[in-house]
Amino acid sequence: MSWWSFERRWLAVIWQTLLPSGTPGGLALGARDVPMDRFLDELLACAPRRVTLGARLCVWLLTFCPLFVIGRPRTFPALAEEERRAVLAKLGQSDVYLVRELPTLFKMLGALGFAGLPAVQAEMGLAVRDSSAPDWAGEPKP
């Protein structure tokens, strides 16, 4: 099942907000620096349909939620980075279970790609067992 290119861009922004590059005191690599688009292809090719459908629905929900969460009449990708973070933080603190699980879902899906990459694991300090990238990642971006 393929996604529209704008849906893919929305998800890329969500992952880049969750996993920003160059955080002082944190990892230098972020979602922007690794081929998360290829991981999405892998996910769409392999994951159960209920998972990919659920993820797609959640992308739409997050994209159009800023008005209701921080009172800004813009889509999530159109917000400044600080505002995007504020949206995620507010959702994550919600008293409504399904709402606060929204950022967790994207974090969980992103983690399977991002934190499985040898370059990221090396930055985390792991003694990396497989130095080659997983199949889905192919050659790392320069």
Partner 1 sequence: MSGAIVELGDVRDQARVEDAADVVIIGTGAAGATAARVLTEAGLDVVMFEEGAHVRQEQLRSDMWSSFKHVWRDLGFQVASGRAFTPVLQGRCVGGTTTINGAIIHRMPEKIWARWRDEFGLGGALPYPELERIWDVLDRELFVGPAPESVLGKNNSLMRTATERLGIAGNLIRRNVSGCEGSAHCNQGCPTGRRQSMNVSYVPRSVAAGARVYATCPARSLITRRGRAAGVVGQFRDPLTGARGPEVVVHARRAVLLAASAIQTPLFLAKNRIGVGAGVLGKRLQAHPGTAVVGVFDAPVEMYRGATQGYESVHYWDERMKFETVAMPPELAMARLPGLGPELMRELAQYAHLAVWGVQVRAEAHGSVRAGLFGGTHIAYDMTDADIRVLKLGVRRLTEMMFAAGARQVLPGVHGLPHAISSVDELSPLFDAPDDPRLFHTIAAHLFGTALMGGSAFNSVVGPRFETHDLPGLFVIDSSVFPTNMGVNPQHSICALAWLAAERLV
Residue 30: enclosing H or E segment and its boundaries? none
Q: Give the separation between CA 4 and CA 25, rounded to whole angstroms.
A: 36
Q: Which CB, 69 or 117, lies closer to partner 1?
A: 117
Q: How far is the CB of 4 from partner 1 (least distance, A)?
A: 23
How many whole angstroms separate alpha carbon 101 and alpha carbon 120? 25
Pick from 58, 40, 48, 57: which is nearest to 2 by CA? 40
Radius of gyration (C-alpha) of the chain in whole angstroms? 15
Q: Which of 124, 138, 140, 141 is close enough to bind partner 1 by CB under 8 A? A: 124
Report if residue 116 touches partner 1, rule: CB under 8 A.
yes
Q: Which residue of 53, 57, 67, 111 would you call a contact of partner 1, by CB under 8 A?
A: 111
Dihedral pair phi/psi, residue 62, rounded to 5°: -70, -35
Minimum separation from the CB atom of position 67 to partner 1 (A)? 20
Q: Is 48 in the site for partner 1 (CB under 8 A)?
A: yes
Tokens 């459908």 locate to 53
Q: Which residues of this chain interact with partner 1, rule CB under 8 A? A: 17-20, 23-27, 30, 39, 42, 46-51, 85, 88-89, 92, 97, 100-101, 103-104, 107-108, 110-117, 120-121, 123-130, 134-136
